Amino acid sequence: MRKDAGALVFAAALAAAALVPSASAAVSLKLKGGGFYAAASEFNAGLQGVCDLAVAAASYTGDYRPLHFGTQIGAEIVVDLGGGFGLGLGVDLQRASRESALEYASPLFSESDTIAPRITAVPLALNLHREWRIGRSFSFDAYAGIGCTWATFHQEYRTVSDFFDYRQTDSFTAHKAAFGGQAGVALEFEIARAVGLFVQAEGRLAALTELRGDRTISGSYFLGPVPEETSPAYLWAYTLTVSARAFPQLAVSLAAPTAGTGEMIDNVHKARLDLSGASLSAGIRIRL
């Protein structure tokens, strides 16, 4: 975690140094808000596999909901370099969460399980802009650059059962930084001499690997609470074969997952959480 934080601070320092304007440089501030899409391909495949296995092997009913869409706000300072070019330093705050639910019922007891992942990401971007004027009021901006994303991944697996009034929350939290890049376009409409409204579309590349964090298990039953336990763990991905059917899976543990009786396990590795995707936003640009 210290290494990741240091990398982020170093990237921010370099970007800030590059953006120190001269006395005559024109500076503008862009403020925006909107939504984003993250691929999270391996994570979603494992999440669906967990739900599918529960339905196929244990007679659960379920509702798998992939983790893709979220909301974002952001800001960027752009320094005019002349000739239609600019150098920008931007930061966003992105959040996405979903819940998948599983239900089990028998003559003896019933149980409900909820899997609730959440991602909070702070991408820092250093962009080179190229802007073209279109008539008197419009301008088109294309940009690309490098970035560093600091992210927190949190997941809860919550179980509620009427068997001995059992309750348990199995949570995992990890922090990670990842380097990547982004590119996008924006169309701006000038509503005053120094103020414009814009819409912006962007694509971003970033992926979190080897997610190591803290796993906490807490709960209770009819006699009272169960002592809380916290331990270090990784987020794992693998394929589990049961009755000749393969299920992508996720696991949270320090050691690599192993197969149980009558199971076959392969392709065990630390999971990759892919934050690559696209965003669409709208905002205001103020020329200072």
pLDDT digits (tens, 9 = 90+) for 191-232: 998 999 999 999 999 999 999 999 999 999 999 999 999 999
Residue 259 in this model has a pLDDT that exceeds 90: no
pLDDT in the model for residue 9: 47
Tell me the Ramachandran region of residue 191: left when phi exceeds 0, alpha when psi lies from -120 to 50, beta otherwise: alpha
Query: Which residue ranges make up each domain of the chain?
Result: 2-17+42-287
Q: Would you state the pLDDT for residue 10?
A: 45
pLDDT-based confidence at 3, cuts 50/70/90?
Answer: low
Q: In this model, does residue 283 exceed pLDDT 80?
A: yes
Q: 83, 88, 96, 78: which is closest to 26 by C-alpha?
A: 78
- Find the radius of gyration of the CA atoms of the chain: 23
pLDDT given for residue 25 in this prediction: 61
In this prediction, residue 271 has a pLDDT band, given cuts at 50, 70 and 90, of very high
Which residues, other chains included, contact 229 with Cβ-Cβ below 8 Å and sequence gap of 6+? 216, 217, 218
Return the residue matching tokens 């331990």: 231
Output the average pLDDT for the chain: 91
Region 276-288: mean pLDDT is 97
Residue 14 reports pLDDT greater than 80? no
Closest CA to 122 of 88, 153, 97, 143: 153
Q: What pLDDT is stored for residue 33 in this prediction?
A: 98
Q: Tell me: the pLDDT tens digits for 127-176?
A: 999 999 999 999 999 999 999 999 999 999 999 999 999 999 999 999 99
Which residues in 135-244 belong to E strands, given as ranges? Answer: 138-161, 166-192, 195-205, 207-209, 212-221, 224-242
- Alpha carbon 254 to chain centroid, angstroms: 22
